[in-house]
Amino acid sequence: VCECFAVGNAFSESTAVHRIAPDRYRGAIPAGWDIAGNANGGVLLAIAARALLDATGRADPVTVTCHYLAPGRPGDVTIDVTVIKSGKSFATANAAMVDAEGRPIVQVLGACGDLAGAAGPDVVTGSAPDLPDPEDCVVRKPSDAFEIPFNSRIEMRLHPDDAGFAEGAKSGRALVRGWFRLPDDEPIDTVALLLAVDSFPPTIFNLDLPVAWTPTVELTVHVRARPVAGWLRCVFGTRFLTGGFLEEDGEVWDASGRLVAQSRQLALVPRAS
């Protein structure tokens, strides 16, 4: 399906983009990164973010907002970047991803910068989630209802208290905690953090609701620091499920105990079928 360049297995290869014209990029939604046929939303955002970074000449996606417009099926995509302002600290730009038929897949607005020199006072009242060691956490099993090829592309270990939903043992709390890393020791850069925040099962799988999926309307990620090597500690929670909407708030912490990303998405609760 992907004609313009070979797609490798690693995350960085699978989300690579090539400039084909000023501010126009070619990429591909990679096969095998899907949940029941549709690419994971973090993968789509990562592809768009790589185009944003290249076009703006910046190293890190500091704050990016992604609107999900159509499911991502494997195949070529084009990303058009519009740089709105290129300032001293940040470059702000839009990225519009369309598929081979020109159908909008995602639309991204982001500010890119350089987090290497980030400095300032630290006042932190939140803390990383308490997790059993990765070997004492739970590998998500394939669902009976649908296939999740995506789960073989990442390494995810769920907190045992949050992992029973697949066997019908829902915790009753809209909370999912766990570990995340990339296979084969692939380094996690700040683009991979955009993947991490959208990799875990929906929080409301742990509520007593007949919900099989929660389509994301919008996802915003604040990348707060470049992670050190090692497992990431992740926590996702929902406090307000109202009127057919829910927010899902995420935090990602690196092995040094530093908060490296915060995320919030607005998702929909589909009517029970």
Tell me the C-alpha distance between 65 and 152, whole Å: 26
The owner of tokens 């929902």 is 238
| Residue 103, number of CB atoms within 10 A of its CB | 12
Judged by CB under 8 A, which of 233, 241, 250, 252 binds a second copy?
241
Q: Is 104 in the site for a second copy (CB under 8 A)?
A: yes
Q: What single-letter amino acid sits at 198?
A: D
Closer of 6 and 123 to a second copy (Cβ): 123
| Separation of alpha carbons 27 and 11, rounded Å | 13
Of the candidates 39, 53, 62, 158, which one interacts with a second copy according to CB under 8 A?
62
23: three-class secondary structure by DSSP: coil
Instruction: Name residues contacting a second copy, limited to 158-197 (CB under 8 A).
Output: 174
Q: Between 202 and 231, how does the x/- string for binding to a second copy read (CB under 8 A)? A: --x--x-x-------xx-x-x-xx------
Q: Which two tokens stand for residue 51?
A: 């185009």
Q: Give the residue among 145, 164, 174, 152 at the shortest CA–CA distance from 235.
A: 174
Residues in contact with a second copy by the rule CB under 8 A: 62-63, 65, 67, 69-70, 84-85, 87, 89-90, 92, 94, 96, 104, 107-109, 111, 115, 118-126, 174, 204, 207, 209, 217-218, 220, 222, 224-225, 238-245, 247, 258-259, 262, 264, 266, 268-269, 271
